[in-house]
Structure formats: structure tokens, C-alpha cells
Amino acid sequence: MAKGYVIAQMSVVNQEGYLAYARQVPGTLDAFGGRFLVRGGEATTMDGQPKGPRNVVIEFPSLKAAQDWYNSPAYQAIVQGRLDNADGCLITVEGFEG
């Protein structure tokens, strides 16, 4: 089964509010087998227009697990903290098995 990923790219507009949200995210991942692969860090745009300088990649055992995490009561209870304090997007994507 292919793994699932959450990929977020954003520009933080309120650092304090975003950090309050970000501190809560790890506690929502375990029940879905999620783990951070990228959580900020240095990034270089090679071409195109990024949504912002902050990048996050979370790996899950499957696409369904990634989507279940996003829709879970635990994550939905905190997601507004990201929406209120950062501009960008969050997508779920199925990994490649090849």
C-alpha cells in the first residue's frame, strides 16, 4: 500500500499564533501513524512561485490515514490556528510505489 503525505506550504503572518498551533500538531499524529519528514528548515525555490517560505511534509501509512487525520476531531479542533495565522495551502497526496 502506498504511503500518504500531507504537504503544506505557507507564509506565516502571525508567528506567535502559528507557534501556538504548531505546538499542538504532534499530539494529533500518533493515532494515525503520522510523522514529520519536513518541518520548516531551509528551502530554496528552484523555479516557479512558492506559496510561502514555510514547508511541512507529514508521512502517513496511507492516503486514507492522512485524510482521516486531517478530518479528525483532534486536528479540526486546532486547524483554525493555522488558517488564522498563515496563508498558504495544505494538500494530501498518495505516495508512489514503483
pLDDT digits (tens, 9 = 90+) for 28-87: 999 999 999 999 989 999 999 888 899 999 999 999 999 999 999 999 999 999 999 999
Q: What is the pLDDT of residue 51?
A: 84
pLDDT digits (tens, 9 = 90+) for 69-79: 999 999 999 99
Domain boundaries, the chain: 4-43+51-94
| Residues β-bridged to residue 32 | none
4-43+51-94: CATH topology: Alpha-Beta Plaits (3.30.70)
Whole-angstrom distance, CA of residue 80 vs CA of residue 16: 14
